[in-house]
Amino acid sequence: MRDLPIELICAVVQNVSATADLLHLRSVNWTYRELVTPRIFSKLYIKNSIQSAQNCHQIIGVASLAAHVREVIYDSRDNERLQLPPHNTDCSDALEVSELEEALTEAFCGITSLPRLERVMLNFWPSFLSQSGREVPESPFWFTNRQLAVLHAVHHGMQTSRMNTLTLNNVILPATCHDFVASLTESPLSHLSISVVSNAEVSTWSGSKNVNGSLGALLPPSNSTLKSLVLRSPQGLYHSLTTRLSSLHYPSLESLVLENIVFDQMPSTDGVEDFILRHKDTLQRLELRSCACHIPNSSTDVRRWSFIWQRWASELTGLRELIVNNDCHEYVLFDADRGYISHGVVSPTVVEDDSSSLQAFKDTIAVGQVVV
């Protein structure tokens, strides 16, 4: 192994994928170390444990290793679906949780020392690995507190970091924008993806129907850097009466993806519908996955999807791609006991008008025709 030609050594390294095997190769000699180090340290994985956070902090503190890190991934759990524990379950030790938050804060504040960092992914799960190796479920208080600590640390690092992509998964949105988000007036991000915990899941777990944070709470202040934005609620509908988007405008925004997001019953400058229209000069791609229109009660006039499609067709003249999964455009009511439920009395005429207006919008985009 030590005396092989460099071409063969390169081939060996390229065909090894397991981290443990790469670490063994790295220890063979200087040549292997030089070849393996850029590969094995290009992604830095942090588990939700004190030891892992401390290990990450140590790696960041070694300049020869930090120079290779391009992506930081927090608490990645392959093929795992978010499942919040029963209401107010808490088996955690307050002291250990506090030490975990401190270790994570130190690690993520250290991203300023990663000169080639491009991407950060934060996955939030309602449990952590204790120092004994046991997975410990958390209460809503500790979960949201840890989320706040990690987000604060990352935004601190973003002040001087060159990272351009931030992905947040399983976030419980606050009612108002955090100061550390609002103060980041020169955000480096060109791509931001936020996956939120649905209304129903949060209400069941927290025991409150009022935990319904703003979609704009974690969006950066208006800037010309952001080009791509994803807002998702993959495990159920998300609607917030506290959403305030009127102050947000991204003059370079080209792509917007919305999943399971509920539109307000009436358009307003604070709502999602008008937020989209504010970006008509630059928006080229719009994707809606299982979105819905909110109807306050069964006696309220329906804000039809056909009105939205027609409005967008006349104003989003620069749009080049529109994706609506299964041409899905629903209407929902809020039920105090069951949460957001489908509005079951929409007439066939409304359905037909919605479908034909959507198709007309798509046809307009396909031919590049301006609707007047």
* pLDDT, tens digit (0-9, with 9 covering 90-100), for 163-174: 999 999 999 988
What is the number of residues in the chain? 372
Specify whether the CB–CB gap between 75 and 124 falls below 8 A.
yes
Tokens, residue 327: 């041409």
- How many angstroms separate the CA atoms of 61 and 43, rounded? 15
Q: Would you state the pLDDT for residue 324? A: 93
Q: Would you state the pLDDT for residue 24? A: 65
Its pTM stands at 0.89
Q: Over its length of 372 residues, how does the chain's per-residue pLDDT go in tens digits? A: 556 666 666 666 665 666 666 666 666 666 666 666 777 888 999 999 999 999 999 999 999 989 999 999 999 987 777 777 665 555 667 888 899 999 999 999 999 999 999 999 999 998 898 888 888 888 888 888 999 999 999 999 999 988 999 999 999 988 778 899 999 999 999 999 999 998 888 877 776 665 668 888 999 999 999 999 999 999 888 888 778 898 999 999 999 999 999 998 888 899 999 999 999 999 999 999 999 988 877 666 778 899 999 999 999 999 999 999 876 678 888 777 777 777 766 788 888 999 999 999 999 998 875 444
User: Could you tell me which residues are beta bridge partners of residue 122?
Assistant: 74, 168
- Buried b / exposed e over 244-276, threshold 16 CB at 10 Å, is bbeebebeebbbbbbbbbbbbbebeebbbbebb
Phi, psi values for residue 326, rounded to 5°: 55, 25
* pLDDT, tens digit (0-9, with 9 covering 90-100), for 305-358: 999 999 999 999 999 999 998 766 788 887 777 777 777 667 888 889 999 999
In the chain, what is the straight-line distance between the N-terminal and C-terminal CA atoms, in Å? 72
Locate the domains of the chain by residue range. 1-40, 42-367
- How many angstroms separate the CA atoms of 189 and 224, rounded? 10
- How many angstroms separate the CA atoms of 252 and 170, rounded? 27
Specify whether the CB–CB gap between 165 and 206 falls below 8 A.
no
Matching residue, tokens 């379950």: 89
Phi, psi values for residue 286, rounded to 5°: -130, 125
Matching residue, tokens 């439920």: 341
The 255-259 sheet, strands edge to edge: 43-46, 71-74, 119-123, 165-171, 191-196, 228-232, 255-259, 285-289, 321-324
Q: Would you state the pLDDT for residue 371? A: 46
Q: Would you state the pLDDT for residue 372? A: 41
Nearest Cα residue to 357 out of 349, 346, 368: 349
Q: What is the DSSP letter of 326?
A: G
Specify whether the CB–CB gap between 75 and 48 falls below 8 A.
yes
- How many angstroms separate the CA atoms of 26 and 32, rounded? 5
Matching residue, tokens 């899941």: 201
Q: Nearest 5°: CA angle at 362, between 357 and 368?
A: 125
Phi, psi values for residue 123, rounded to 5°: -110, 120
Q: Would you state the pLDDT for residue 237? A: 87
- How many angstroms separate the CA atoms of 138 and 87, rounded? 10
Specify whether the CB–CB gap between 75 and 125 falls below 8 A.
yes
- Amino acid present at 316: L
Cβ-in-10-Å burial (0-12, 13-18, 19+) of 103 comes to buried
